[in-house]
Structure 1
Amino acid sequence: MFILSDVYRMLVGIGDRVLSPSMKKVVKWEHPAGPKYVHFWSPVMKSSLVLAGLGDLMRPADKLSLNQSISLAATGLIWSRYCMVIIPKNYFLGLVNFALGLTGLQQLLRIAHYHYTHPDEKSKN
């Protein structure tokens, strides 16, 4: 774990030296939700969950996990509200969480539609 901290410090040091003062303002380098802090990297990493949910659109509805879809929808919607309360306000994280909630809700609707239109499949399981 310490290796990752060292790599992070090295990359931030390079960014401090390479970026010009005007470029630092454009990319909001020193902002609490800028790329120098976890408030930026959290939504970047969390967006992979949204992409995975969008990838599940190709999966048949009978293969989707109900529990996973519920948890993604709930956490996405709960955390999208929380992102507007914390300081610094992180609109990027709020947007990613909202998209995660919508993706989870869409998968839940697909599961519900499948069980509604295929009641005989439900009784076999």
Structure 2
Amino acid sequence: MGSFRAFLNSPIGPKTTHFWGPVGNWGFILAGLADTQKPPELISGNMTGVLCVYSALFMRFAWMVQPRNHFLMVTHASNECVQLYQLSRWAKSQGYSQKKEGKATS
């Protein structure tokens, strides 16, 4: 019971926005996971790229802020993984990952 009470009263516990912010960010992750079942032609490359940069920046923030917020970091690392997967699906559908079949060598 003592460790649960310590968690409740910690600077990053559920009584603070440092806890509820990451909980809210799981919406991005769940939406990204749901979108993996949709055709890659529906993916916005711009938005997915922005979400990748956003999560990368906030992973660093979560690591540097004091007290260190591991929950926020795991949230953004999870989102980074989902968004990078979506970005790879988008890139394949746009033809970015195909080998160039151009000039024949003589």
TM-score by length of 1: 0.72
Q: Aligned with 2:34: secondary structure?
A: helix
Structure 1 unaligned blocks of 5 or more? 1-21, 120-125
Structure 2 unaligned blocks of 5 or more? 99-106
Tell me the equivalent position of 2:13: 34
* Structure 1 position 41, deviation (Å): 0.4
For residues 76-115 of structure 1, the aligned pairs below 5 Å read: 76-115=55-94
Residue from 28, 31, 56 that aligns with 1:52: 31
Tell me the equivalent position of 2:53: 74
The CA RMSD over aligned residues, in Å, is 1.7
List 4+ stretches of structure 1 deviating above 6 A: none
Letter in structure 2 aligned against 1:26: F
* Structure 1 position 67, deviation (Å): 1.1
Identity, in percent, stands at: 29
* Structure 1 position 48, deviation (Å): 0.8
- Distance in structure 2 (CA, Å) of the matches to 1:38 and 1:65: 30
Q: How many residues in Structure 1 have an aligned counterpart in Structure 2?
A: 96
- Distance in structure 2 (CA, Å) of the matches to 1:75 and 1:66: 14
- Distance in structure 1 (CA, Å) of the matches to 2:17 and 2:80: 21
For residues 22-78 of structure 1, what are the alpha-carbon distances to aligned partners after superposition, in whole Å with 9 as ceiling and x for unaligned?
36x315111000000011101101011100011110110011111110011111111
- Distance in structure 2 (CA, Å) of the matches to 1:39 and 1:51: 20
* Structure 1 position 116, deviation (Å): 1.4
Structure with greater proportional helix content: 1
- Distance in structure 2 (CA, Å) of the matches to 1:31 and 1:51: 27
Greater relative contact order (Cα < 8 A, sep 6+): 2
Residue from 16, 40, 44 that aligns with 1:61: 40
